[in-house]
Amino acid sequence: MYDVPLWLWLVFAVTVLVSLAVDLLAHREAHVIGFREAAGWSAVWVGLAITFGAVVFLVVGADAGVEYTTAWLLEKSLSVDNLFVFALIFGYFRVPRAYQHRVLFLGVLGALVFRGIFLAAGVAVVSRFTAVLFVFAAILFYSTYKILKGEDDSFDPGKSIAVRLLRKAIPVRDEYAGAHFFVKEAGRRVATPLLAVVAAIEAADLVFAVDSVPAVLAVSSDAFIVYTSNAFAILGLRALYFMLAGLLDRFHYLSVGLAIILAFIGVKLILQASHKTISGAVPEIPSLISLAVIVIVLATSVGISVLRPPPDHAPVPPPDTAEHADPISDENTSGDPPQPPSRPRDEGSPPDLR
């Protein structure tokens, strides 16, 4: 555990709050996020994360700086899977592209809260029960197996627990009502499909936390390091999605790279737990080596994806030019990229959520 001054916690909190406020103000009016705008915001979020990492390096120490950078890059790489699920959810619910940023904004707020709870609980458990690291390693190995076997693509937005609970808690209308989450019909308050999309996004993040929380705890057991690195990685998810929405299918070897990283982190957890259990007889993998492995694997998987494109790959139009039907108007502004519905319904309409 590092001796982190209180003012650094305050700087982090103020940075996050101000950044969210600026982002919300800049996107107060619903509009389609194009590639150029998304790339600019991605640069802002990455710049903030790197700058904060430099502050950690100078104030807390070199070891803390390396752990922060490793944890941030690890979470950033694992979050790529979230992007595929975002695309699946938006396609399933036929979400107009102009409203997708607002949905992801609320999703980020929820993720910041839930990740904080999970990471705090994880740090507390690991500090008291070293053996739980073996359990975390088993989770990562199982996740590796699912990715390599292609079993990680079975997420069904319409069947998520959050969406089912929402249906029971409040009536959900069939059509969107602009960017509104609630409307009044026949004197009663009902939800729009946009609220169901938020619920599906939050449910997906909870699923991904099962992988990312054990992985980041393998890098550091310090609450400040694990939470700040996760927070800055999560903050950049929206911009990263809009920047890569039309290119996700081209990085077809990235899933293999993520599987390798998860397996490596699983081995690191086992060595870490064994080191603590057997009083240092088993060596640990230094954070600097972990950082190097993550960078090399990611760069290699992306490079191979570019050099060896998938067979019969058809160019995907960028998210600001793709044409899909809007469920509430005649304009072509629905979710990107499109996904086939899980059950028959009228083309261009969100699924029946009643």
- 230 is written with which tokens? 């996760």
Note the pLDDT of residue 347. 38
Beta strands in the chain (DSSP E): 182-185, 188-191
Chain Cα centroid distance, residue 163? 19
Ramachandran category for residue 230: left, alpha or beta (phi over 0 → left; psi -120 to 50 → alpha): alpha
Q: pTM here?
A: 0.75
Output the CA torsion sign for 243, 248, 253, 258: positive
- Report the distance separating Cα 105 and Cα 135, nearest Å: 33
Residue 182, phi then psi, degrees to nearest 5: -135, 150
Note the pLDDT of residue 320. 42
Note the pLDDT of residue 322. 39
SS (H, E, C) 122-159: HHHHHHHCCCHHHHHHHHHHHHHHHHHCCHHHCCCHHH
Give 47's contacts (C-beta < 8 A, 6+ positions apart). Answer: none
- 320 is written with which tokens? 């600001």
- 37 is written with which tokens? 């705008």
Q: Can you give the pLDDT of all 354 residues of the chain as single tens digits?
A: 788 999 999 999 999 999 889 888 888 787 788 888 888 988 999 999 999 999 999 999 999 999 999 999 988 888 777 787 788 788 888 888 888 888 888 888 888 888 889 888 888 888 788 788 888 888 888 888 887 887 555 556 666 677 778 888 888 887 888 888 888 887 788 888 888 888 888 888 887 787 788 888 888 889 999 999 999 998 888 888 888 776 666 777 888 888 888 898 888 888 888 877 776 667 878 888 888 988 898 889 888 988 887 765 544 444 443 334 333 333 334 444 444 333 333 334 566 555
- Report the distance separating Cα 99 and Cα 40, nearest Å: 19
* N-term to C-term CA, the chain: 49
HSE toward the beta carbon, residue 329, CA cutoff 13 A: 10
